Chain A
């Protein structure tokens, strides 16, 4: 199984994301922002970073990259897509996911190990977890506050589309402690914290992030 990892100018976490894909048991395929060719991948990861320097709004310029036109097309047809941090912002700007990520409520760039609870374990990226499972993975961003209107929030909650929630104090002002959401089909997931940095206890707070990358194999086998 081939999982594409996109590199935009300013992407930081593409190497770790590719490592996590391999650790999860798949083949990692590098995808370039300027190339619309998805190289026959079965799934796509949009890694974290500061694509296009976060100019205008985080993810606003990346949305129009040639590779994203292809990603939007295949995502709408059901291909699994995971956006982490900046990748989540790109997915929101692309309207593949509702809402937006805004400046952390206390204005600080946060970099810490964060406990989150997996709320929806039925998505292509979370089926390795138990529902309600609590995991610790890094959270590192300046604009991670999930915002949407009341109607959208009710829809996300009502349809079980909140994938993960922060545990404990709200780190960034996200509505309803939302750390991640999915689309109606469950193939597109956006996540603010970084599972790809938590696949090995030597370099991360846990190895619990690996579950996101083994989930995608389960989703393909089904």
Chain B
């Protein structure tokens, strides 16, 4: 069994109010390391066996059609060992 991970992030130019809220909460808790924070989504997809190139292409397609909105988001597909 393998796990395919799709990370979806807002495009850099799109305002991320949630990330900004997290960034401003961190120093209030004494964490001063963050210059900025962006918040995204992570999808974990389990499949039987090792993923084939065709399966990964299908996941890419699904990420583009459903998991992300290409107008405001970018995504990255990777296989997690």
Contact = CB atoms under 8 A, between A and B. Distances in A.
**Does A pair with B?**
yes
Interface of A: 56-57, 60, 64, 92-93, 98-100, 102-107, 145, 147-149, 173
Nearest to B11: A149
A93 B67 CA distance: 12
Summarize A's interface: helix, strand, loop or mixed. Answer: loop
A100 B18 CA distance: 16
B67 A99 contact: no
A173 B67 CA distance: 24
24 contacts: A56-B66, A56-B67, A57-B69, A60-B66, A60-B69, A92-B71, A93-B69, A98-B71, A100-B69, A100-B72, A102-B10, A102-B14, A102-B72, A103-B17, A105-B17, A106-B17, A107-B18, A147-B14, A147-B15, A147-B71, A148-B71, A149-B13, A149-B71, A173-B15
B20 to A, nearest CB: 8
Contacts of A106: 17
Contacts of A102: 10, 14-15, 72
Contact size range, B = 10 to 19
B21 interface: yes
Given A102-B15, A147-B15, A107 B67 contact: no
Interface of B: 10, 13-15, 17-18, 21, 66-67, 69, 71-72
Contacts of A60: 66, 69
A106 B71 CA distance: 21
Contacts of B67: 56
Contact of A105 (B15, B71, B72): B15
Contact of B15 (A57, A145, A149): A145
Nearest to A103: B17
Contact of A107 (B13, B21, B66): B21
Contacts of A64: 66
A100 B13 CA distance: 13
Q: Which 5 A-B pairs have the closest CB atoms?
A: A100-B71, A100-B72, A107-B17, A103-B17, A105-B17
Contacts of A105: 15, 17
Contacts of B14: 102, 147
Contacts of B66: 56, 60, 64
A103 B18 contact: yes
A106 B18 CA distance: 9
Which of A64, A93, A103, A145 has most chain B Cβ within 10 Å?
A103
Nearest to A101: B72
Given A93-B69, A147-B72, 16 more contacts: A57-B69, A92-B71, A98-B71, A100-B71, A100-B72, A102-B10, A102-B72, A103-B17, A105-B17, A107-B17, A147-B15, A147-B71, A148-B71, A149-B13, A149-B71, A173-B15
A57 B69 CA distance: 8
A93 B72 CA distance: 11
